[in-house]
Amino acid sequence: MLQDIRQHTQGAAAKIIIGLIVISFAFFGIQSILVSGGDNEIADVNGELIYPQQLQQALDAQKRRLISMMGDQFDPAMLDDERLAPQALESLITRALLMQAALALKLVISENDIGATVAGMEQFQIDGQFSAAVYKSVLSSAGYTPSYFKQTLSEDMLLSQLRSGIAGSEFVTSSELALNSEFMMEQRDLRFFTIPLERFTSISPPTDAEVDSYYADHQEEFRTQESVDIDYLELTMDDYRQSVSESEILEAYEQAKEQLQYQSQSRVSHILFETDGDTEIQERVSVAQEKLAAGVNFSDVASELSDDIGSVDKGGDLGYTSGDAFPEEMEVVIAQLEPGVVSAPLETSAGTHLILVTEREQAAAPSLEDMRASLENSIQEGDAREMLLLTVESLRDASFNAENLRSPAADLDLVVKQADAVTRSEAEGLFSNPSLVAAAFSEDVLLAGNNSDVIELAGNSFVVLNVRQHNESEIKTLPLVRQQVVAALLEEKAQAAVLSEATSALQALRNGLAAEQFADANDYDFEVELGVERRNTMLPPAVLGRTFQLPVPTEGAVSTDFISMPNGDAVVIELLGVSAGVFKSLSTQEQAQFQQLLATEAGRLIDSEYQRGLRERAKISIL
């Protein structure tokens, strides 16, 4: 049915109907969204309302973090709003409670602190210097306005101040240090030996009856995974690379030499006077000019009078420009200024500037041979990307109504590739990409038999796929898995033998036989470890963990037990003695580190309890 819909949506009548639907939606649907969904609050926190747009901003930020963390392998299902919304709303409620508490305590963040923080962020810098142009570009790409970012940063710094103060109010007493050190720096002496699984693997093969019985009892372990055999077309930019002529390279080289990165670079400082309703702006400019005329250093005047939070702590320094970092009117003045000369007042949308060029460097263009490879690659990539995108658009149209991929492949001179037995949990190759797996197992592709959409992957790669065959999950017959069954039975018997041997060893030790004697009699590896601490990295983690779980032995006795290892071995442990940790035995540096560790943990707990207390006392309504 879906294929019929696809085919009939291409007719003229269908297009007219769709057009009418779009027009009606434009007049009525969007209006209803704007009217009904705009400002309806979704939560009330002590009278402070949380609105849908705040939740959407939190969701967008959370999605960006997830995509950044997972990279190309992110699962689109992880970005589902319904999955993320509850957590995002909880974070907004917690943030509102903490902000209310911070304001009640009259905590503040100064403009200078905000400016210094912004200026120190690497993502807003070029060559270690704050760049106003980069600042605006990065914020725009992230969906922030400067004012919203500044407000959010101010709130983040305020919350950090609150939580640091709460955590800093906690301290660790000397008795707590002594008690915790007794436990955390405890040392244990032990002996142990290993009973290896391989010692018991030469057991006689299982009988046919045992094989049949094991297979009947464990059939689900021999079930195949559901999979699909896929036909697909893959388009990459490399498929469209063409050779480049010498004349094209020469032309590109001449253009490159004219670009700004090969022209002079100017290091610029400025003093900014913002014009937000300030009627005395000219007086402030005059004061600055008088100070400069009197010989006061430009950077000192900028630090005292400039309104630019990004450069005020750097004496007004904005870094370097090649003619494209700042607004056009600024670049015109910069290009005309001689180094060391202060400009006349310049009006821009940001305010009034006094500009100083502190350095000017003339950069030489690299030679043609130095740039040949990069120019050739750039030309090839530009042409290939254009051809790739044109082919992708043709492929979208050709594959939309096609029953399979053979016809689109023939039309566009492409080769149909195949991938067999692709599972939902594919871990290697092209189809380890979650987007492709999701498409292959979607209802439209798997059940309806349609071609998928053309899916864009990282690195200028596009894929459209069709399921050639669906392989349902099924239990493999015994002849196919007989060797696996025999191996499983042998391992099972060997593990049972190891367990029996470990039990016998434990009983012998508890009857008074020394661990070393049992190990020597049976040719097992025997080891002694004295003064083992919890942070020991030499012992296997499982042995270390069980050692510190054993009860402290009474005087003249030992504590014994054994543990099964992940590889099937068994380790028999004999705990000889326990020494409590002593805080005063640590060096001064170690004492400070231990005290900081406990203080950090205490701070984390008090912060958690503080938030819990705020929530218990708050009036919160989810609307």
Q: What is the pLDDT of residues 244-294, one digit of tens each?
A: 999 988 988 888 777 645 567 889 999 999 875 555 788 889 999 999 999
For 511-587, where are the alpha helices, taking DSSP H only? 515-521, 541-547
Q: Residues in the chain, how many?
A: 623
Q: What is the pLDDT of residue 467?
A: 96
Domains in the chain: boundaries: 1-37, 174-183+585-622, 187-206+479-579, 227-243+372-471, 249-362
Average pLDDT over the chain, rounded to an integer: 86
CA 338 to chain centre: 47
Q: What's the rounded Cα separation, in Å, for the pair 452 and 439?
A: 6
Query: DSSP assignment of 439-497, as one string?
Result: HHTSIIIIIT-PPPPPEEETTTEEEEEEEEEEE---BPPHHHHHHHHHHHHHHHHHHHH
pLDDT at position 261 is 55
| pLDDT more than 70, % of the chain | 90
| pLDDT of 17 strictly over 60 | no
H or E stretch at 500 = helix 478-510
pLDDT reported for residue 277: 53
One DSSP character per residue, 140-189 reads HHTT--HHHHHHHHHHHHHHHHHHHHHHHT----HHHHHHHHHHHT-EEE
Answer whether residue 33 shows pLDDT above 50: no
Residues 213-242 have a mean pLDDT of 93
Q: What is the pLDDT of residue 208?
A: 93
Of the listed ranges 74-83, 182-191, 433-442, the least confidently predicted one is 74-83
- pLDDT tens digits for range 479-519: 999 999 999 999 999 999 999 999 999 999 999 898 999 99
What mean pLDDT comes out for the span 82-98?
90
| Mean pLDDT, rounded, for 536-545 | 94
Distances (CA, A) of 62 to 91, 155, 454: 11, 18, 27
pTM of the model: 0.51
Query: Which one, of 344, 348, 341, 358, lies nearest residue 266 by Cα?
Result: 358
Identity of the residue numbered 404: N
| Mean of pLDDT values over 396-414 | 93
Q: Collapse the DSSP code of 579 into the 3-class scheme (helix H, G, I; strand E, B; otherwise coil) and give the result.
A: strand
Residue % of the chain over a pLDDT of 90: 51
Average the pLDDT over 359-387 and give the result. Answer: 84
Is residue 302 within 8 Å of residue 292, measured between CB atoms?
Answer: no
Domain boundaries 249-362, corresponding CATH code: 3.10.50.40
**Residue 325 has what pLDDT?**
80
pLDDT for res 40: 81
Asked if pLDDT for residue 1 goes beyond 60, the answer is no
User: Positive or negative CA dihedral for 454, 457, 461, 463?
Assistant: negative
Short-list 290, 296, 334, CA closest to 315: 296
Q: How confident is the model at residue 74 (pLDDT cuts 50, 70, 90)?
A: low
State yes or no: pLDDT of 18 exceeds 50. no
Tokens linked to 29: 């649907």
pLDDT at 259: 64
Residue 21 confidence (pLDDT) above 60: no
Burial track 60-98 (b if 16+ CB lie within 10 A, e otherwise): ebbbeeeeeeeeeebeeeebeeeebbeebbeebbebbbb
pLDDT at 450: 95
**pLDDT at residue 72 in the model:** 60
Query: Is residue 141 pLDDT above 90, yes or no?
Result: no
Whether 75 shows a pLDDT value over 80: the answer reads: no
Task: For residues 358 and 78, give the distance between their C-alpha atoms in angstroms, rounded to a whole number.
Answer: 50
pLDDT of residue 2: 34
The beta-carbon contacts of 116-122 under 8 Å, at least 24 apart in sequence, are 116/313, 117/153, 117/157, 118/150, 118/153, 118/309, 118/310, 119/309, 119/310, 119/311, 119/313, 119/314
- pLDDT given at position 591: 86
Region 459-467: what's the mean pLDDT?
Answer: 92
Closest CA to 240 of 387, 391, 456: 387
